[in-house]
Amino acid sequence: METHKHILAACAGLLLAAAALPAAAALRTLGAVEQVTTSRDSVTLSTAGGAKLRIGFVTPDVVRVRMNPRGDFDRDFSYAIEGAVPRADAVIADTDDQLELRSANGSRVAIRKRPEPAITVYDAAGRVVVADDPARPTAFDPVDGAIQTFKRREDYELYYGFGEKALPISRQQQYMAMWNTDTPDYAPGTDPLYQTIPFFIALDDGRSYGVFFDNTRRSWFDMGKTDPHRYGFGADGGELDYYVFTGGAERTPANVLRDYTALTGRGALPPLWALGYQQSRWSYMSQQRVMEIAHSFREKRIPADVIYLDIDHMDGFRVFTWNPKTFPQPRRMLGDLHAQGFHAVTIVDPGIKYDEGYPIYRDGRERSVYVRNADGSELHAKVWPGVCAFPDFTLPAAREWFGELYAAALDDGVDGFWNDMNEPATFTPDGFDKPETNHGPQKTFPLDAQHAGDGVAGPHARYHNVYGMQMARATFEGLRKLRPGQRPLVLTRAGYAGVQRYSAVWTGDNSANWPHLALTIPMLTNLSVSGVPFVGADVGGFMGDPSAELYTRWLQAAALTPFFRTHSTDTSAPREPWVFGAEYERINRAAIELRYRLLPYLYSLFAESEKSGLPPMRPLWFVYPGDAGASLVEDQYLVGGDLLVAPVVREGMVKRTVYFPKGDAWIDWWDATRHEGGTRVQIDAPLGRLPLFVRAGASIPTQPVVQHTGEMKSAPLTITVAAGADGSSRFFQDAGDGYGYRKGQSRTIVVTQDETGVRLDIPRNRGWQRIEAVEFVGIGAAPALVRIDGKPARDVRFDAQTRRLRVALPNEGVKRIELLR
Ligand code: MIG
C-alpha cells in the first residue's frame, strides 16, 4: 500500500513539474543506453543508471521487454507460462541514437537510446502499437524496488481484460490494483478482488493490441486515470517484464487473445457433466438433505448435473474428512447420486487444521510442506477449522503431496473439487483490535512469510498472487495423475495469469441485488478475454436473498454462461429453482432446459477454445471490434460467434433495448423475427423470456431436453440453421469425458448454408449423438418443395407460429438439403 501511494504521489508531483523529476520523488530513471549486445532474437542494453534491458520477439507478432534496475536479470521463470518463453529471430539495426528490431512479418521495435531508453512497437503497416511516454520514462525506486512504466494513450482507446474486476466493461480512466483478496459482499467498484490477471486488450479505431505484465507482486494499472494522455503499470518489486501482442496484420482482439493464450495456456475441454446445471449452497448440511435435493430435481423434472458439498460436509472443517454424524455413509450417498445421474463436488480449502491428532496435518509437517514465518517457524493462522498450517503450493513437493490427498475422496466417489479461500484468506487473529476492513493486511499471510518459489525462495509479498493458482494446479495435477482417464473439474476462487490451464473460476461472494446481476456480464466477459474460458457467477447472488423475480432473471442471464451454478451463503433462505412458487418454478425450469437444449453447441465451443484460446462467452466488441456501437455494450453477450444473449438485468422490466452488432443479421430465437445489424430495437421480454438471437447464416446443434448430461448419448441432435445469409459452421462431438478426442476419437460436422439450402458434411458416427433433423429458423413461408440429395423429402413440417421448418434426415449420409420456393 505504502509503495503505491508513494508512486502515485510521485506521479502527481511529476504532473506539476513536468520538466524533471521533482526532488521529492524517490523514483529514479534508467539513464541513457551505454552498452548494447545483440543476439539473433533480442538486444540487451545496459544503462547509465545501472539497469539492464532486454527486448526481443517471442513470435513475429509478440514482443517481450524485460528491465531489471539492479543490473542483472532474475531467473527467467514464470508461473504464468509453462516451459521456456519462445524466441523469434529479428533483424537488428544499431545506429548512434537508436536500435531497431524487425520481425519476420515486419513488426518493429524502435528503441531510442538517449536521454532515457524509449521503446516504440510498430505493426507491420508501420502504425504505432505501444509507445513509451518520453515525459514519464521507465523508473524504479532504489530503496524498495518498485518499478513502473508509462505509455502514451490515444483519446478514444478502450481497455478490456484485467481478469476479475467489478468495474464497467471498458477500463479506461480506471486505476486497478492486483492483489488477490477475499472481498465478501463486494460492492461494484471494489478493487482488487480474488484474481490477478495483469493482461489487457486495447481497442482503438477497430484495431487491437494486448499487454501482459508478468509480475506476481502487488501491481497496478493506471489506464489514464491520473492523466488521460498516458497509461502505466508497475509493481512493488521484481522485474518490469511485459509482453506486447501486436495483434498481427489484422490487429484483431482474437489474434491478441490467441497469442496471449499460446503463451499462458488454454483451458482444456471440461468433462461434459461440468457444463450441466450445478446446485450448491453453504451448506447442504447432511447426507439426507443432499439426497432430498437430488430427488427433488428429478421428481420436478428440472435438469441438473452437479451437487456441491460446502465446508460443513467435513469433520471440524478438516480437509479430506467427512463429518461422521451428518455424512455417515459418503460412499453410499455418492453412489446413489451417481445412480441418479448426478456428480458431486466437494470444497477443499488450503488451511490444514493444526491438530496433532489429524494425520494429514502431521504428515505435512513431517514432510516440511508448510509455509514458514520469516523466523523459520511454521506459519499458523486462523480459518474455518481454527488455527491452521498452510501447504506452500510454490514448493513442488507440497503440490505433489497435496495432489495425492485427493485419492481417498476420489475413491469415495467425489467427482470434482472446489478450491476456496486460496488468495490466501485468513481470519483476524485472536485479540485483533483494529477495524476489520475488506483489504486489511491481517486478512492474508504476513508479507515476509517464506515460500519456496519453485527454486527461488522468497517472501509472501512475491508469491501471494500465485498461491491460489498453484493450489488449483496441485489439485489439477493430482487428479490427472490419480484418474488419468478422466478430465478433472477444478473450481478456484483465486488465481493468476494462466490459471485457465488448471481450473474454472467463479467470481466469489457476490450479492443478491440487481446491480450485481448486471455486473456479471462485464465481469465474466472480461475474465473470458483474459484467457479464462470457464467462468461463472453465483446465480442469485451469494450474500442475501434474491426476490423471486431477481432469481429468475439471474438464472436466465446465467443459463448460457460457461459455468452455471446456483450458490448462496449459510444464512440465506433456500434457493433451489422450485422454492419461489409454481409459476416461477415453471419459468426457472424452462431457463435450465434452454441450457440443456443448447449444450451441444456450448460443448463444441469449449472444444474450439482448447485449440484457439477463444472463449465461449464473448463481449460484443471482441467479435465486432470495428463496430463502435458494440464497444461499450455490457448488458448483452455472445455465446461463441452465433448466439446473442440480452438478459433482463433490471427490476420490473418486461421489454429491453437490444443492440444488434453491425455486419450480421440476427434471428429471434423465439419468434424468428429478423433484425439487421447496427440497429437498436425494443424487444419484448416478459418474465418467462430470455431475449436470444441467432446469427443469420449460422448453424448450431441443439438437442431435446434431457435431465442430465448422462442422457445425452441417446438424445438425437437437430441442426438449427438460421436462414437468411450464407455461412459455414462446424461443431464437435466426442465421448464427453476422457482424452480419446486428442487421439482422433471425435468428429466435426460441417454445415454450409447458401441461397438454395444447406450442404452437410457428417463424418462416420462412432457412437456420438445421432443427427436426426435440420431445422430452418427465419424463413418467411413454407417452401414449395424440399429436396434431400435431389429427391423430395418425406418428413417436412413447418410451424407457422415459430416460423421453423423441420426436415427429418433419413440417415446421416445426407449431403444436401434444398429448399425450393
Ligand atoms: O469464509 O465455504 O466464496 O462460496 O460458500 C467463507 C464457505 C468461505 C467463501 C466462498 C463461498 C463459500 C464459503 N467460503
**Residue 493 CB–ligand 1 contact under 6 Å:** yes
Question: What CA–CA distance (Å, rounded) separates 456 from 394?
Answer: 10
Which letter does DSSP use for residue 716 in this model?
Answer: P
The question of whether 310 is a catalytic residue gets the answer no
| Residues whose CB is less than 8 angstroms from the CB of residue 279 and which lie 6 or more positions away in sequence, other chains included | 293, 297, 304, 306, 307, 308, 565, 566, 576
* Torsion 360-362-363-367 (CA) sign: positive
Residues 6+ away with beta carbon under 8 Å from 478? 399, 400, 402, 403, 404, 405, 406
* Residue 758 DSSP symbol: E
Q: What's the average model confidence in pLDDT over 2-24?
A: 40
Binding site membership of 616 for ligand 1 (Cβ less than 6 Å): no
Q: To the nearest 10°, the Cα dihedral for 418, 424, 427, 432?
A: 180
Question: Where residue 63 sits, what CATH number does that domain have?
Answer: 2.60.40.1760
pLDDT number for residue 5 = 38
pLDDT value at residue 15 = 38
Of 505, 509, 508, nearest in space to 532 by CA:
505
**CATH assignment of the domain containing 752:** 2.60.40.1180
3-state class (DSSP) for residue 714: helix
Give the distance (Å) from ligand 1 centre to CA of residue 20: 49
- Please give the distance, rounded to the nearest whole angstrom, from the Cα atom of residue 527 to the centre of ligand 1: 20
Please determine, for residue 22, whether its predicted confidence score (pLDDT) is greater than 60.
Answer: no
Q: Considering the domain boundaries, does residue 109 fall inside one?
A: yes
Q: What are phi and psi of 138, to 5 degrees?
A: -50, 135
pLDDT tops 50 at residue 8 = no
Q: Measured between alpha carbons, how far is 186 from 113 in angstroms, rounded to an integer?
A: 46
Shortest-distance atom of ligand 1 to CA 508 = 3
Q: Once rounded to an integer, what is the mean pLDDT over residues 518-524? A: 98
Domain boundary among 264, 289, 317: 264
Q: In which residue are the cell numbers 521456456 written?
A: 84
Task: Encode burial over 340-372: b for 16+ CB neighbours within 10 A, e otherwise.
Answer: bbbbbbbbbbbbbbbbeebebbeebeeeebbbb
Per the structure, how many domains does the chain have?
2
Query: Mean pLDDT across the stretch 810-817?
Result: 98
372 Cα–ligand 1 center, Å: 25
Residue nearest to ligand 1 atom 2, measured at CA: 311
Contact 157, 169 (CB under 8 A): no
Cell 490515444 belongs to 154
Please check whether residue 80 lies inside any domain of the structure: yes
- Does ligand 1 come within 6 angstroms of the Cβ of 281? no
Residues 782/751, Cβ–Cβ less than 8 Å = no
CB of 347 sitting under 6 A from ligand 1: yes
Determine whether the shortest distance from the Cβ of 608 to ligand 1 is under 6 A: no
As a whole-number percent, the residues of the chain with pLDDT over 90 amount to: 95
Please state, rounded to an integer, the average pLDDT across all residues of the chain: 96
Question: How many angstroms separate the CA atoms of 548 and 701, rounded?
Answer: 32
What is the rounded average pLDDT of the residues 729-746?
98
pLDDT at 18 over 60: no
Verify whether ligand 1 is closer than 6 Å to residue 508 (CB atom): yes
Cβ of 313 less than 6 Å from ligand 1 = no
**Ligand 1 neighbourhood includes 275 CB (under 6 angstroms):** no
Closest atom of ligand 1 to CA, residue 420:
10
**Which of 209, 232, 264 finishes a domain?**
264
Q: Is 311 in the pocket of ligand 1 (CB under 6 A)?
A: yes
Does the Cβ of 182 fall within 6 Å of ligand 1? no
Residue nearest atom 5 of ligand 1, based on CA coordinates: 282
Is 70 exceeded by the pLDDT of residue 10? no
Cα-to-centroid distance, 382 and ligand 1 (Å): 15
Give per-residue pLDDT as tens, 330-366: 999 999 999 999 999 999 999 999 999 999 999 999 9
Q: Is 593 in the pocket of ligand 1 (CB under 6 A)?
A: no
pLDDT digits (tens, 9 = 90+) for 574-623: 999 999 999 999 999 999 999 999 999 999 999 999 999 999 999 999 99
Cα separation, 776 vs 672, whole angstroms: 10
Assess whether the C-beta atom of 565 lies below 6 angstroms from ligand 1. Answer: no
Q: How many residues does the chain have?
A: 821
Best residue for ligand 1 mutational test, from 280, 310, 384, 438 (most atoms within 8 Å of Cβ)? 310
Residue 3 predicted with pLDDT over 60: no
* Residue 20 pLDDT > 70: no
Say if ligand 1 is within 6 A of residue 509 CB.
yes
10 Å CB burial of residue 84 (0-12, 13-18, 19+) is exposed
Phi, psi of 276 (to 5 degrees): -75, 180
46-55, long-range: CB < 8 A, 24+ apart: 46/71, 47/117, 51/140, 53/117, 55/101, 55/109, 55/111, 55/119
CB 682 within 8 A of CB 634: no
Lookup result for grid cell 446481476: 517
Residue 161's pLDDT band, with cuts at 50, 70 and 90, is very high
Q: Is position 34 annotated as part of the catalytic site?
A: no
Which atom number of ligand 1 is nearest to the Cα of residue 509?
Answer: 3
Is residue 116 in some structural domain?
Answer: yes
52-93 pLDDT tens trace: 999 999 999 999 999 999 999 999 999 999 999 999 999 999
How far apart are alpha carbons 492 and 479 in whole angstroms?
Answer: 15
Residue 235 exposed, middle or buried by CB count within 10 Å (0-12, 13-18, 19+): buried
Question: Domain containing 758: what range?
Answer: 716-820
Active-site choice (423, 642, 772, 775): 423
572 backbone φψ class: left, alpha, beta (φ>0; ψ -120 to 50): beta
Residue 572 domain-assigned (yes or no): no
Beta bridge partners of 553: none
Ligand 1 pocket test, pick from 311, 420, 516, 569 with the greatest ligand atom count within 8 Å of Cβ, gives 420
d(CA 63, CA 107): 9
Distance of CA 294 to the CA centre of its chain: 29
- In-domain check, residue 437: no
At 780 the pLDDT is 84
Rounded to the nearest whole angstrom, what is the distance from the C-alpha of residue 317 to the centroid of ligand 1?
Answer: 12
CA of residue 420 to ligand 1 center, whole Å:
7
Catalytic residue among 509, 593, 635, 642: 509
Burial bucket for residue 380 (CB in 10 Å: 0-12, 13-18, 19+) = middle
**Around Cβ 95, how many Cβ atoms within 10 Å?**
8
> Would you say residue 593 lies in a domain?
no
Q: Each residue of 774-811: pLDDT tens digit?
A: 999 999 889 999 999 999 999 999 998 889 999 999 99
In a 10 Å sphere around its CB, with 0-12 CB exposed, 13-18 middle and 19+ buried, how is residue 72 labelled? exposed
Over 90: is that where the pLDDT of 371 sits?
yes
- Cell digits for 173? 480512466
C-alpha cell at 476: 489439477
**Whether residue 282 has its Cβ less than 6 Å from ligand 1:** yes
State which ligand 1 atom lies nearest to the alpha carbon of 384: 1
Structural domain contains residue 24: yes
CA dist 500 → 215, 495, 654 (Å): 17, 9, 37
Q: Is 420 in the pocket of ligand 1 (CB under 6 A)?
A: yes
Report the alpha-carbon angle 687-691-694, nearest 5.
Answer: 155
Phi, psi (degrees; rounded to nearest 5) at 595: -55, -50
Give the pLDDT band of residue 11 (cuts 50, 70, 90): very low
pLDDT of residue 25: 57
Neighbours of 563 (CB within 10 A): 23
Q: Residue 649 C-alpha to ligand 1 middle, in angstroms?
A: 25
d(CA 137, CA 140): 10
Q: How far apart are CA 391 and CA 382, in angstroms?
A: 14
> Considering the chain, what percentage of its residues have pLDDT values greater than 70?
97
Q: Could you tell me if the CB of 349 is within 6 A of ligand 1?
A: no
The whole-angstrom separation of Cα 717 and Cα 18 is 65
Q: Indicate whether 16 pLDDT > 70.
A: no
> Number of H helices and number of E strands within the chain?
13, 53
Annotated catalytic residue, options 116, 222, 392, 420: 420
Domain boundary (219, 242, 264) is at: 264
Closest to 533 in 3D by CA, of 556, 494, 504, 493: 504
The rounded Å distance from CA 310 to ligand 1 centre is: 8
CA proximity to 748, closest of 728, 727, 734: 734
Ligand 1: which of 194, 282, 318, 419 to mutate, most ligand atoms within 8 Å of CB?
282
Question: What mean pLDDT is predicted for residues 302-326?
Answer: 98
CA of 417 to the centre of ligand 1 (A): 14
What's the confidence (pLDDT) of residue 87?
97
Q: For ligand 1, pick from 285, 421, 507, 516 the residue to mutate: most ligand atoms within 8 Å of CB.
A: 421
Nearest CA-CA partner of 570 in 548, 550, 545, 534: 545
423 lines ligand 1 (CB under 6 A): no
Beta strands in 439-587 (DSSP E): 450-451, 458-459, 490-492, 495-496, 504-506, 535-536, 565-566
Task: For residue 597, give the nearest of 720, 779, 462 by alpha carbon.
Answer: 720
Q: Which of 313, 427, 509, 543 to mutate to test the pocket of ligand 1 (most atoms within 8 A of CB)?
A: 509
**For residue 430, pLDDT beyond 60:** yes
Look at residue 427 and tell me whether its pLDDT is greater than 90: yes
How far does the centroid of ligand 1 lie from the alpha carbon of residue 509, in Å?
Answer: 7
Contact 102, 90 (CB under 8 A): yes
97 lies in some domain: yes
Mean pLDDT of 415-443: 94
Residue 121 CA from chain centroid, whole number: 28
Output the CA 441–ligand 1 centroid distance in Å.
Answer: 19
Count of beta carbons in the 10 Å neighbourhood of residue 785: 12
Angle at 710 between CA 707 and CA 711, to 5 degrees: 55
Strand, helix or coil for residue 628:
helix
- Alpha-carbon dihedral angle through residues 595, 600, 603, 607, given to the nearest 10 degrees: -160
- List the grid coordinates of 93: 539495426
Bond into 729 cis (ω within 30): no
Task: Tell me which residue has its CA closest to atom 13 in ligand 1.
Answer: 282
pLDDT band of residue 373 (cuts 50, 70, 90) is very high
**Adjacent-strand bridge partners of 479:** none
Is 420 marked active-site? yes
